[in-house]
C-alpha cells in the first residue's frame, strides 16, 4: 500500500464515503423489486408505519433537508403511493392503498439487504458497525 493509500484508508471522510458507495450499490440491488430507490422506499416504509406523519418528522427521521423530503413525496404521490393532506400549516402524508400494499415488498427488500451485508461482514459485526456509525453520526451532528 502506498503512503497516499495508507493516508486515505485512515481518513474517516474517505472510508465513510467508500462504505456508503458500496452499501448504496447493495441497497439499490436489494430494493430494485420495489420499483423505488432505497431512500424512497424508507420514506414509504415510515409513511406506512405512521399514516399522517408530518413532512418535518420525515425529514428528521431520515436526516434529509425539507426540500429533499418534498421531492421524495412528490415522486411517491405521482406514482400513486402517497397523498398529502394539509392541516393548517402542517402537511401530513398518508399511504394510498397501493402504497400500503407495497409495504411487504419493501420490508422483504430491507431484509434482503440486511442478510446480504450480514453474510459478508458477519451478523454481529454488521450490527455492531451499524450501531457505532449511528452513534458517531449523532455525536458529529451535535458538534
Residue with cell 486515505: 8
Tell me, what's the pLDDT at 49? 97
Tell me, what's the pLDDT at 87? 85
Tell me, what's the pLDDT at 47? 98
Which parts of the chain sit beneath pLDDT 70? 1-6
From CA 101, how far away is CA 121, in angstroms rounded?
32
From CA 133, how far away is CA 55, in angstroms rounded?
25
Nearest CA to 62 among 86, 36, 44? 44
Cβ atoms of residues 45 and 123 within 8 Å: no
Tell me, what's the pLDDT at 111? 97
CB atoms within 10 A of CB 2: 7
From CA 92, how far away is CA 65, in angstroms rounded?
16
Q: What residues form DSSP beta bridges with 93? A: 53, 84
CB atoms within 10 A of CB 53: 18
Tell me, what's the pLDDT at 8? 79
Tell me, what's the pLDDT at 88? 86
Residue with cell 402537511: 91
Q: Cell triple for residue 1?
A: 500500500
Amino acid at each position: 500500500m502506498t503512503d497516499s493509500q495508507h493516508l486515505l484508508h485512515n481518513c474517516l471522510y474517505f472510508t465513510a464515503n467508500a462504505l456508503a458507495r458500496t452499501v448504496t450499490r447493495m441497497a439499490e440491488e436489494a430494493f430494485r423489486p420495489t420499483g423505488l430507490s432505497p431512500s424512497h422506499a424508507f420514506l414509504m416504509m415510515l409513511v406506512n408505519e405512521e399514516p399522517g406523519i408530518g413532512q418535518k418528522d420525515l425529514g428528521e427521521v431520515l436526516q434529509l433537508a425539507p426540500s429533499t423530503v418534498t421531492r421524495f413525496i412528490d415522486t411517491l404521490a405521482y406514482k400513486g403511493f402517497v397523498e398529502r393532506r394539509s392541516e393548517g400549516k402542517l402537511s401530513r402524508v398518508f399511504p394510498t392503498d397501493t402504497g400500503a400494499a407495497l409495504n411487504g415488498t419493501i420490508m422483504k427488500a430491507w431484509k434482503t439487504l440486511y442478510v446480504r451485508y450480514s453474510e459478508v461482514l458477519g451478523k454481529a459485526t454488521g450490527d455492531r458497525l451499524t450501531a457505532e456509525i449511528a452513534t458517531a453520526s449523532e455525536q458529529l451532528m451535535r458538534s
